[in-house]
Amino acid sequence: MARTKGNQFPSHSFSRRLNSMLRVDARRMFATPLFWVCLGVSFAIPILVLVMTGMVGGAADGLMFTNTWQIIESSGGGMMAAMGGALSGGDAAAAEAEMDMTGMMNINLMYFLIGVFLCLFTAEDFRSGYAKNLFTVRARKTDYVASKTIIGVIAGALFLLAFFLGGVFGGSVAGLSFDLGDAGIRGLVMCMLAKIFLSAVFVSIFLLMSVFAKGRSWMSICLSLFGGMLLFMMIPMLTPLNSGVGNVGMCLVGGAIFAAAIGAVSNAVLKKTSLVG
Amino acid sequence: MNAIEIRNLSKRFGDKRAVRGLNLTVPQGAIYGFIGENGSGKSTTEKMICGLIHENSGSIRLFGRDHTDPDVRARVGVLIESPGCFPNLSVWNNMMIQATNLGVKNPEKEIARVLKTVRMEGAASNKFRNCSLGMKQRIGIAFALLGNPALLILDEPINGLDADGMRIMREVLTDITQNDGCTVLISSHILGELEKIATHYGFIRKGQMIREMTAQELEKSCRTYIALKTGDMARTERLLSRRFTRVEADEGGSLRVYDLVPPQEIVRFLYENGILTRDLRSAKIGLEEYYIDLMREKEDR
């Protein structure tokens, strides 16, 4: 390598800087035990839920999954129905009946797991001094926000896919139906894509909380779970099992807009606050 | 063009003004000793140069460009407080991360080069958390040297180093400034070490630059004195204090006369008063004493 000497300052474009940072973040993500633990948890949760609810529940009391895709569809909307019932002053018992397993234990839980992962992953940057190293060299705050958002979405996609595979495995072990009904394979694929693109919205919120809390992971996790909860209700509406191109497009565009807008706020937080203790 | 040019830099933390209208100029190729007491604003200034904290006002230019320019930042090596490493990764992997972030081509070769420079080749496979304080400091210096920096900013880099580590540090800094044209801004409380390598000095007090000078100017400013011992030090001090304007006892038990007089005159004066001079030498005050004098002078005002 020809070493740069004297007053030569070769250009370091945004794409070049982002490329370097993504390589480092990807390498770190796949090297950290936390990622593999989260991936394992993502795979194990649906298996445990489908198999164990089959063992302890009964179809009559509404606690049991009758179809494998209920854990992906998440359209039971137990929380939504419960809240709706409470808000409209409707029959409390009816609302309570809707608080079933399919509404509570489903793939949407992965959005919280993404939050926990991203908060711990980002907090480590600040605790170890890696962020300090990064910003004292050529990195700009924008590069950091972009890189972490992309890595968060990739991690989220992998967690969602692991949950999906776990669901399929759990469904076959529990002997559940795999009937997709009107949705079909296309709807299932679109549903998963929509969920993956939608994760960008959550990732950008979690990242904002993380850069605000810096090395204090407990704070970023609490803030992220609170922030994520506010948007949690919209997931089943935007990503039903019979999703079409419209759902995918909406999640993609929405995810991009949210990521850009909240990313700008994260960028401003990094610029305005001290990066060292 | 100067390597660092700071004008009217200010930084406030709540009600506390950490840096107040600071001006600082570091010429290219210099080893600039940045000196000040604890809390004087040295680290805050260095962190602002590195972009770790943000100035309230003023300008910082590195090689004529804004200090946030990523192209110029890519050639700034920094060691502030401690090297930012992942404790569970090996030294080599930590360095690989930094080299990738810097966009260093052929990183393996570059990492091997800088580890060899700080004599840490043998520790490459060690986990960072298992390294001693001195090793961590050397690794920090290796981090800063990655990518052939044009400017090095080192905050207390000698802390925790053993005698060999200090010698290596001196050699490395002298080598990169003389052979690679690198500029170094270094803050340290170990002034004796700093004096051996620095070509320029900046003295900061309460967030303000109180004096900038070259090593030659310091040399000229450092007053000479005559140190002596006698059999009756108490009486000698009384006599000398009456005759000369500035006489002080030093830590070694000698009396120092700072007036510009020939030594023979002092010996004769004491002899006439019945005191025999046992030990007499002429010397110059060093950086440490100059700094203490300077701070005392500013305090008195």
Rounded to the nearest integer, the mean pLDDT of chain A is: 81
Shared fold status for B2-212 and B223-284: no
Q: Say which residue, B164 or A204, is predicted with more confidence.
A: A204
Q: Average of pLDDT values for A244-255?
A: 90
What pLDDT is recorded for position A271?
83
Phi, psi dihedral angles at B131 (to 5 degrees): -80, 145
Return the axis-axis angle of helices A14-31 and B91-102, rounded to nearest 10°: 160
Q: Which residues contact A271 (CB under 8 A, 6 or more apart)?
A: A141, B54
> SS3 letters for B98-129?
HHHHHCCCCHHHHHHHHHHHCCCHHHCCCEHH
Phi, psi dihedral angles at A205 (to 5 degrees): -70, -45
B111 in contact with chain A, both atoms CB, cutoff 8 A: no
Taking the C-alpha atoms of residue B210 and residue B192, their distance in angstroms, rounded to an integer, is: 20
Domain residue extents for chain A: 25-272
Q: Average of pLDDT values for A163-177?
A: 90
How far A263 CA lies from chain B's nearest CA (Å)?
A: 19
Sheet containing strand B224-230, strands side by side? B247-249, B255-257, B224-230, B277-284
* DSSP-based three-state secondary structure for B181: coil
Structure tokens at B190: 């170990």
pLDDT digits (tens, 9 = 90+) for A14-37: 888 888 889 989 988 998 899 999
Structure tokens at A206: 């979690």
Determine if the pTM surpasses 0.80: no
Searching chain A, which residue's CA lies closest to the CA of residue B78? A136
How far B114 CA lies from chain A's nearest CA (Å)?
A: 13
Q: Say which residue, B180 or A150, is predicted with more confidence.
A: A150
CATH of segment(s) B223-284: 3.30.70
Q: Average of pLDDT values for A141-149?
A: 91
Structure tokens at B32: 């600039």
What pLDDT is recorded for position A95?
45
Residue A148 pLDDT > 90, yes or no?
Answer: yes
CB within 8 Å: A10 and B74: yes
Most confident of A207-216, A266-275, B186-195: A207-216
How far B211 CA lies from chain A's nearest CA (Å)?
A: 27
Residue A162 pLDDT > 90, yes or no?
Answer: yes
Searching chain A, which residue's CA lies closest to the CA of residue B178? A6
Burial class, A10, CB count within 10 angstroms (exposed 0-12 / middle 13-18 / buried 19+): exposed
Taking the C-alpha atoms of residue B228 and residue B253, their distance in angstroms, rounded to an integer, is: 9
* DSSP-based three-state secondary structure for B229: strand
Closest CA to B22 of B51, B42, B2: B42
Burial class, A272, CB count within 10 angstroms (exposed 0-12 / middle 13-18 / buried 19+): exposed
For chain A, the residues whose C-beta falls within 8 A of a C-beta of chain B are 1, 3-7, 9-12, 16-17, 20-21, 23-24, 27-28, 31, 124, 128-140, 271-272, 274-276
ipTM of the shown complex: 0.73
**CA B43, B140, A147, A3: dihedral to nearest 10 degrees?**
110
Q: What is the DSSP string of chain A?
A: -----TT------HHHHHHHHHHHHHHHHHHSHHHHHHHHHHHHHHHHHHHHHHHH--GGGT-S-SBTTHHHH--S-HHHHHHHHHHHT--HHHHHHH--HHHHSSTTHHHHHHHHHHHHHHHHHHHHTHHHHHHHTT--HHHHHHHHHHHHHHHHHHHHHHHHHHHHHHHHHHT-B---TTSHHHHHHHHHHHHHHHHHHHHHHHHHHHHHHTT-HHHHHHHHHHHHHHHHTHHHHHS-TT--HHHHHHHHHHHHHHHHHHHHHHHHHHHHS-S--
Q: Which residues of chain B have pLDDT under 70?
A: 300-301
Taking the C-alpha atoms of residue B149 and residue B156, their distance in angstroms, rounded to an integer, is: 18
Nearest to A272 among B52, B54, B100 (CB): B54
CB within 8 Å: B52 and A275: yes
List the alpha helices (DSSP H) in chain B: 42-50, 70-73, 91-102, 107-117, 133-145, 163-179, 191-197, 215-221, 233-243, 263-272, 287-300
Angle at A41 between CA A190 and CA A169, to 5 degrees: 60
Q: Which residues contact A153 (CB under 8 A, 6 or more apart)?
A: A196, A199, A200, A203, A255
* Second CATH level (architecture) for the domain B2-212: 3-Layer(aba) Sandwich (3.40)
Least confident of A63-67, A158-162, B285-289: A63-67
Taking the C-alpha atoms of residue A110 and residue A229, their distance in angstroms, rounded to an integer, is: 12
Domain residue extents for chain B: 2-212, 223-284
